[in-house]
Amino acid sequence: MNISLLSQLAWRNLWRNHRRTFIMLSAITIGVWAMIFMTALMRGMVDQMVENGLNTFTGHIQIHHENYLDDPAINNSLPYPGPELIAELNNSPAWTTRVRVPAVVNSERESRGVMLMGIESEKEKALSFLADSIVEGRYLKAEKEKGVLIGKKLAEKLETELGKRIVIMSQDPDNNIVDVGVRIVGIYQAELRATEEQFIFLDQGYTQKILGIKNQISEIETREENFRDLAARKTVIESKLEQNQKIQDWRHLNKLLAATLGMMDGFVLIWMLVVFIALSFGLVNTLIMAVFERTREFGLMLSLGMKPRLILSQVLFESLFLLVLGLTLGTGLAWLAIKPMESGIDISVVAEGMAKMGVGATLYPSLETRDILTANLIVILLGVSASFLPAFKASRLKPIEAMNVN
Amino acid sequence: MFKSLLQCSGLLLCLILLSLNSHTLLAQAAEPPTESTPEIQAKAILKAAIDNWRGMSSYSEMTMRIHRPDWERSVSMRGWTRGDKDSLVRVTAPKKDIGTGTLTLDKGMWTFSPKVNRVIKVPSSMMNQSWMGSDFSNKDISKADEIVHSYSHKLTAIHEQDGHKVYEIEAIPHEDAAVVWGKQVIRVRDDHVMLSEAFYDQDGILVKRMDTLEIQELDGRPVATRQRMLDIEEEDHWTEIILHTVDFNIELADSVFTLSNLRNPRD
């Protein structure tokens, strides 16, 4: 007996009881839809976390003094890169340097601990969200800038506003207190309120003057073509560094982010398996019912000389068709559901909670081919294996007994 | 400026000192040359006071009363000052705080607490925190002659009060001065007792004010013996410093203003 006949038989059997088939089909469709749709949402969330994380002054690769990460003090700074290192850094799509030291800002009524960032305003534009996020006032000028940029949330906490003066206090390399009054020239808004409270920005040269660290910086940051594969680039840049300088990629600088990304793959798989297990009960049950109903029929076929192997194949084919149909519909539905949402889903209702996870108020679902493939493979492979039990039962029927079932 | 003086250490101490020196000051400040502008006059009044006070030393005993709507506490202290930079304040009561001290030298400020038996350098992050729970900040205590150098001054009024001339000086911080206030208004009597200092925010709203409530003759000079720092925005929040005794121009060993003396008092 050839396969085309077998599959024809299976296909027709499928539609003998179309109500049952439709119910099972919709179960599979919804299951697959849920697998793919939810995965796309989760992926979107994690992608955004990574993007936000890298945009928030992490970048792809950073260079520090070897002790800076353990103790971000002003003493652990490095000299501004020399010509050789600059030449190498220019091979990256973008790079910049920053002074980054802890400081305290005071207004008339409040004071807050912050991270004082001395930035190169032009270069910074390519590396972080800052330049595009000014909601009041202006960005830092390239030259002779003595104003400060602060976050919207920080301005609220300090009860101050654009155009007013605040006092910044920090320490110079000899542990003396340095302080200076600066005028707020711009207010920025970040995806996360925590960021708005954490960072304030001054011109780099002015920061160095205040802190008494001529030409010293805390970090060099680069952005590369692809944030997933940085090993080669790291080695090249590392060869140009001084002895006490250390190079690290974002996975090291933001371990939480790296771990989250790694965990996500495991998470997706578990989620799909859970949905499948729920699905498989329905599937196996349906097939067992179908086999019971046709016990007489199978007995007749066996008596006429059909090999048990072919009976088994026939039932498996039935299950396969059901699964393939369900998968096609489910995947298609998921695609239809996600496409219109790719421009972003407004989740500002729960923005506060999401912010705690590092996600903004808009969710961008991300439909990845490998997730669709995983979902389909899981359902087909495990689905067919689960159908093996009823199929095996059908093939092992004794012809006489089977024919005598009323 | 007076404020800064105050701040310099046993805040009040300094103040007091200022007021004391009146004699010479009067000559310089009270009769400013007629051709000078009000700005120069104002600065001269402040500067003369500081110059005169610089190099002086003092020993004083005082009580600080911190008042809140639901509680009040008093701390007794002894203080030493020398010049406008060095000062040492040590708590003598209540019992549980005995030995707690604050030392300010040129640019640094240290505190000692017997409970943890450690001298701690006050980091910049704590400069704006309250000094011993009062309405003064660590910065108030440690900053010295800032008000002369970091502000531009204007003599806004001169009037008579109780037979004294009172100068009203408006001080506006320079653009990059490490001062959060929009302006300060200081009233000084011609015998160099500071009558009040008001702190305004950048919208011109009064935030806090220091008033002199009592003036007495101590060690031969008029001194503000009771001063109150009033938090305008919190009802019934104030800190008062009451000066009991003061000795001026005394000999103080260099060892007084050292970290080891802060930790292990030798007096």
Alpha carbons B45 and B193: distance in angstroms, whole number: 12
Alpha carbons A37 and A26: distance in angstroms, whole number: 16
Which is nearest to A166 in space by CA: B142, B181, B183, B151?
A: B181
CB–CB contact B124 A171 (8 Å): yes
Strand, helix or coil for residue A151: strand
Assess B175–A contact: CB distance below 8 Å, yes or no: yes
Of the partner residues B108, B175, B233, the one whose CB lies closest to the CB of residue A181: B175
CB–CB contact A109 B128 (8 Å): no
| Cβ neighbours of residue A312 closer than 8 Å, sequence gap 6 or more | A391, A392, A394, A395
Angle between helices A18-55 and A369-395 (to 10 degrees): 150
Domain total for chain B? 1
> In chain A, what residues touch B121 (CB-CB under 8 Å)?
175
Which is nearest to A194 in space by CA: A363, A374, A20, A354?
A: A354
Alpha carbons B141 and B138: distance in angstroms, whole number: 5
State the nearest Cα–Cα gap between B227 and chain A, in angstroms: 22
CB atoms within 10 A of CB A10: 19
CB–CB contact B202 A109 (8 Å): no
Residue B231 and residue B135 in contact, taking contact as beta carbons nearer than 8 Å: yes
> In chain B, what residues touch A181 (CB-CB under 8 Å)?
173-180
pLDDT, residue A201, reads 94
Q: Which strand (E) or helix (H) includes residue B213?
A: strand B206-218
Alpha carbons A372 and A267: distance in angstroms, whole number: 15
CB–CB contact A104 B125 (8 Å): yes
Is this model's pTM higher than 0.80 or not?
A: no
Residue A167 and residue A150 in contact, taking contact as beta carbons nearer than 8 Å: no
Q: In the 3-class helix/strand/coil scheme, how is A298-343 assigned residue by residue?
A: HHHHHHCCCCHHHHHHHHHHHHHHHHHHHHHHHHHHHHHHHHHHCC
Which is nearest to B139 in space by CA: B107, B164, B116, B92?
A: B107
φ/ψ of residue A156, rounded to 5: -65, -45
Using the 8-state DSSP alphabet, how is residue B114 labeled?
T
Tell me the two tokens of residue A77: 């700074």
Alpha carbons A199 and B44: distance in angstroms, whole number: 41
Tell me the two tokens of residue A396: 């092992």
DSSP states along B174-212 = -TT-S---SEEEEEEETTS-EEEEEEE-TTS-EEEEEEE
Region for B63 from its dihedrals, namely left if φ exceeds 0, alpha if ψ lies in -120 to 50, beta otherwise: beta
> What is the predicted ipTM?
0.74
CB–CB contact B180 A106 (8 Å): yes
Assess B152–A contact: CB distance below 8 Å, yes or no: no
> In chain A, what residues touch B177 (CB-CB under 8 Å)?
181
Assess B237–A contact: CB distance below 8 Å, yes or no: no
At CB < 8 Å, which residues of chain A contact B? Answer: 102-104, 106-109, 111, 113, 146, 160, 164-171, 175-183
Using the 8-state DSSP alphabet, how is residue B125 labeled?
G
Q: For every one of its 267 residues, what pLDDT tens digit does chain B have, with 9 covering 90 and above?
A: 333 333 333 444 444 344 433 333 333 444 444 445 667 778 877 776 666 555 578 888 999 999 999 989 999 999 888 877 788 889 998 888 888 888 888 767 888 988 888 888 887 667 767 787 788 777 776 665 677 778 888 888 888 888 888 888 898 998 888 888 899 898 888 877 778 889 999 998 998 898 889 888 887 777 888 989 888 888 888 999 898 988 888 888 888 888 888 888 876
Q: Which strand (E) or helix (H) includes residue A200?
A: strand A199-203
Tell me the two tokens of residue A80: 């501004």
Number of alpha helices (DSSP H) and beta strands (DSSP E) in chain A: 15, 14
Alpha carbons A130 and A275: distance in angstroms, whole number: 41
CB–CB contact A181 B123 (8 Å): no
Q: For every one of its 406 residues, what pLDDT tens digit does chain A have, with 9 covering 90 and above?
A: 578 888 888 888 888 888 888 988 988 899 889 889 988 888 888 888 888 888 888 889 999 999 888 888 888 888 898 888 898 889 889 999 999 999 989 888 888 899 999 999 888 888 888 888 899 999 998 888 889 999 999 999 999 989 899 999 888 888 788 889 999 999 999 878 888 999 999 999 999 999 998 889 999 999 888 777 888 888 888 888 888 888 988 888 888 888 888 888 788 889 888 888 888 888 888 888 888 888 888 899 889 988 899 989 988 998 899 999 999 999 999 999 888 887 877 777 777 776 666 666 777 888 888 888 988 998 898 888 888 888 898 888 888 888 887 6
φ/ψ of residue A222, rounded to 5: -125, 160
The CATH number that applies at residue B193 is 2.50.20.10
Of the partner residues A103, A107, A177, the one whose CB lies closest to the CB of residue B107: A177
Integer Rg of chain A from CA: 31
DSSP states along A74-136 = TTS-EEPP-HHHHHHHTTSSEEEEEEEEEEEEE-SS-EEEEEEEEE-HHHHTTTSSGGGGEEE
Domain assignment of residue B18, given as a range: 2-263
Of the partner residues A111, A165, A171, the one whose CB lies closest to the CB of residue B123: A171
Q: Which residue of A has its CA nearest to B128?
A: A111
